[in-house]
Amino acid sequence: MQASAKKLHRSQTSLHTQMANQQKARRIAVLGSRAVGKSSLVIQFCENHFVESYYPTIENTFTKTIKYRGHEFSVEIMDTAGQDEFSILSSHQATNIHGYVLAYSITSKSSFDMIKIIRDKILNYTGMDNVPCIIAGNKSDLNIQRQVSEQESKELAAQWHCPSIEVSAKHNENISKYFACRGLSL
Ligand SMILES: Nc1nc2c(ncn2[C@@H]2O[C@H](COP(=O)(O)OP(=O)(O)OP(=O)(O)O)[C@@H](O)[C@H]2O)c(=O)[nH]1
Ligand SMILES: [Mg+2]
């Protein structure tokens, strides 16, 4: 093979590898009100333990490699600070994201209402009509303090054409399912 042809072949191969790698990388942002358990969910998923104490987050990024249907995915999960109606999305929270986890606590109606506000902010920011997301109702172990029914979250999910799931970071229930659902099937 001629030197120039070899060079072209090498650069094509490296471009091909780069594209393949890109296809297997996923970026997920976890957003929601304060103290709904965003960090607990991410830590349970990435590090397999539950933290009882509450440390408000500024921002953290976790990475986990997952094998899914024979492919390895590198999943980058952005754990964000709790949002209220006045917080402003930063550009890295709203761009280059493959999927959003909109988290609320089943024990807090206001945190459920907040995910609607957050989604509106994302739509405004991106100029899209819809974004890939999953509705995650955390603290399902606290059923006795429930303020949001599963039906309400299912109705919202139908409206947004997205999945919804109830999870417990404490009991490690449905966590992998919910990250797999959002991160890998996109
Ligand atoms: N019972 C129960 N408690 C939980 C669960 N998940 C989180 N918690 C508790 O709720 C509190 C807040 O959890 P965090 O994960 O820090 O909440 P956060 O959404 O990251 O909070 P910010 O970073 O301030 O936005 C902590 O005391 C956790 O132990 C859960 O599934 N069940
Ligand atoms: Mg946090």
Asked if residue 25 has pLDDT above 80, the reply is yes
Report CA torsion sign: 71, 176, 158, 34. negative
Spatial separation of the C-alpha atoms in residues 37 and 73, rounded to whole Å = 24
Can you give the pLDDT at residue 184?
54
The pTM of the full predicted model, rounded to 2 decimals, is 0.88
Hey, which of 40, 62, 139 would you mutate to test ligand 1's pocket, going by the most ligand atoms within 8 Å of its Cβ? 40
Asked if residue 92 has pLDDT above 90, the reply is no
40 lines ligand 1 (CB under 6 A): yes
Asked if residue 104 has pLDDT above 90, the reply is yes
Can you give the pLDDT at residue 176?
78
Can you give the pLDDT at residue 183?
52
138 lines ligand 1 (CB under 6 A): yes
Q: Walk me through the domains of the chain, giving residue ranges and CATH numbers.
A: 25-184 (3.40.50.300)
Can you give the pLDDT at residue 72?
82
In angstroms, what is the span from residue 15 Cα to ligand 2's centroid? 37
* Proximal ligand: closest to the CA of 43: 1
DSSP string, 138-184: E-GGGGGG--S-HHHHHHHHHHHT--EEE-BTTTTBSHHHHHHHHHT
Can you give the pLDDT at residue 15?
54
35 lines ligand 1 (CB under 6 A): yes
In angstroms, what is the span from residue 123 Cα to ligand 1's centroid? 26
52 lines ligand 1 (CB under 6 A): yes
Give pLDDT tens digits for 42-76. Answer: 999 899 999 999 999 999 999 988 877 777 888 89
